[in-house]
Each structure stands twice: as structure tokens, then as C-alpha cells.
């Protein structure tokens, strides 16, 4: 049986367009062995994409090459412990903070969070991490608690996307930085071509100038 690293190299080479014969020659394997794993990968990919159409290639590869972490001779309870959930929630909150700052491309994907947790010493599979993330994201969306605010005490910020036709140039997408007072529901907004750090900082500076820092 080949190692997980070799298995991964076979699939990456296949995705890059190499023929099975060329992969076998490069890795010093039989062509039948390469055929076997390429066929298994293609079947797994099709199955995963049917269930999760938005799944990206890196996640599919990880799900395919992942070594099972269970042991039927000494089976234990689920590894989704409170400590694991807290660690994943910290990663998700970091992603939310980066999105607010216009750093969408720097957020961690599911496969990145799984790799991070493994480095932290968690013996957990990719599929377990994915299920835990889905659970936490759903819980976060449902955790809305009505609060009372004092006038001028709280202002919230978020990004939004709008389609506008400015100057008869046709409808285009713009990123809208929006500030809302929690008590009076006052809105202050600015449009930008992209969500980035410069736009984040400028929008905040302009809001503070408009509100005289209050």
C-alpha cells in the first residue's frame, strides 16, 4: 500500500494534466497502481461535488487522501470536544474580523483550519472539522439576542455589496462600508471598488470626521 504523500502526488499530477503513464514513470510506480488511485479519486470527486457543488479542489483532495482516524478495536467517543470547538470558533472569529477589514483573501479555508488544528496537536479528521465548522456557523447565525443601548454608546460596522449604474456606465458591483448606530439606526455609508485595508481605514477615518469623533 502506498503512502499518503505518494497518493497525494499522484492526484496533484493528475490534476495538472499528466498522463497516468507519465505519473507512473515519475513516481516509479506501476501504471495499474496509478490507474487505480486516479479512478478512485475521480469517483470520489464526482460524489463529493454532487453533495457539495461549491467544494473546492483542495478540499476534495484532502477528503480523498485522508487516513481514517478511528480504530474499531478501541473505539472512543466523538473527538468533537469543547476544547476543539473553542479552537475552531477562534479561527472562525478571526476569519470574520479579517472580512470586516477587507482581507477576504487572507481568511482560512476549511482545509487550512484542519491543518492548523493538527499542528496544535488535535488528532481529528478533516470531515470532523468540517462538520464542527458547519455546526458553529449555524449556531452563530442563530445567536441573536435583543439588547438595550444608550444613545451614542454603540456604532456597528459591516461591508455590503450593491449593484449601481453610475453615470450611465451600466450596472457594476460596488463594496459599501456601512456604519449604523445601535440606538437610533442612523446610517453612514461609502462606496469602494474593493474591500481592502485601505478602504476599511479610510471609511473609518471619514466616519469619525463626520461624527466629530463621537
Give me the mean pLDDT over the 81-95 stretch. Answer: 87
For residue range 27-51, what is the model confidence (pLDDT) as tens digits?
Answer: 999 999 999 999 988 888 887 777 6
Spatial separation of the C-alpha atoms in residues 137 and 160, rounded to whole Å: 19
CA-CA distance, 140 to 126, in Å (whole number)? 21
Buried b (16+ CB within 10 A) or exposed e, 184-203: eeeebebebeebbeebbeeb
The band of 1, judged by pLDDT with boundaries at 50, 70 and 90, is: low
Separation CA 100–CA 102 (nearest Å): 5
State the DSSP code for 120: T
Which pLDDT value is given to residue 214?
55
Phi–psi pair at 65, nearest 5 degrees = -85, -10
User: Is there a contact between 199 and 175 (Cβ–Cβ < 8 Å)?
Assistant: yes
Q: Are 182 and 155 in contact (CB under 8 A)?
A: yes
Backbone angles phi, psi at 195, to 5 degrees: -90, 100
**Listed residue (57, 69, 176, 74) closest to 123, CA to CA:** 69
* pLDDT score, position 78: 47
Cell numbers given for 9? 502526488
Asked if 19 contacts 10 with a C-beta cutoff of 8 angstroms, the reply is no
Residue 90 CA from chain centroid, whole number = 13
Angle (nearest 5°) at CA 192 between 190 and 197: 100
Mean pLDDT to the nearest integer, 92-113: 83
Give the pLDDT band of residue 201 (cuts 50, 70, 90): confident
CATH 1.10.10 correct for 4-65: yes
For residue 72, pLDDT over 50 is answered with no
Amino acid at each position: 500500500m502506498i503512502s499518503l504523500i505518494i497518493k497525494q502526488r499522484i492526484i496533484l499530477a493528475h490534476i495538472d494534466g499528466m498522463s497516468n503513464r507519465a505519473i507512473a514513470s515519475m513516481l516509479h510506480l506501476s501504471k495499474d497502481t496509478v490507474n487505480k488511485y486516479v479512478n478512485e479519486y475521480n469517483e470520489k470527486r464526482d460524489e463529493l461535488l454532487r453533495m457539495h457543488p461549491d467544494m473546492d479542489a483542495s478540499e476534495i483532495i484532502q477528503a480523498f487522501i485522508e487516513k481514517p482516524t478511528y480504530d474499531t478495536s478501541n473505539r472512543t467517543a466523538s473527538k468533537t470536544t469543547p476544547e476543539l470547538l473553542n479552537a475552531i470558533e477562534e479561527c472562525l472569529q478571526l476569519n470574520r474580523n479579517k472580512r470586516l477589514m477587507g482581507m477576504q483573501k487572507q481568511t482560512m479555508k476549511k482545509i487550512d483550519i484542519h491543518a492548523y488544528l493538527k499542528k496544535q496537536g488535535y488528532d481529528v479528521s478533516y470531515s470532523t472539522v468540517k462538520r464542527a465548522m458547519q455546526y458553529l456557523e449555524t449556531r452563530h447565525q442563530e445567536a441573536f439576542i435583543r439588547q438595550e443601548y444608550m444613545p451614542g454608546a454603540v456604532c456597528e460596522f459591516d461591508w455590503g455589496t450593491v449593484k449601481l449604474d453610475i453615470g450611465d456606465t451600466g450596472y457594476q458591483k460596488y463594496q459599501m462600508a456601512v456604519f449604523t448606530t445601535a440606538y437610533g439606526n442612523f446610517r453612514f455609508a461609502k462606496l469602494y471598488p474593493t474591500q481592502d485595508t485601505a478602504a476599511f481605514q479610510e471609511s473609518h477615518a471619514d466616519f469619525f470626521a463626520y461624527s466629530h469623533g463621537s
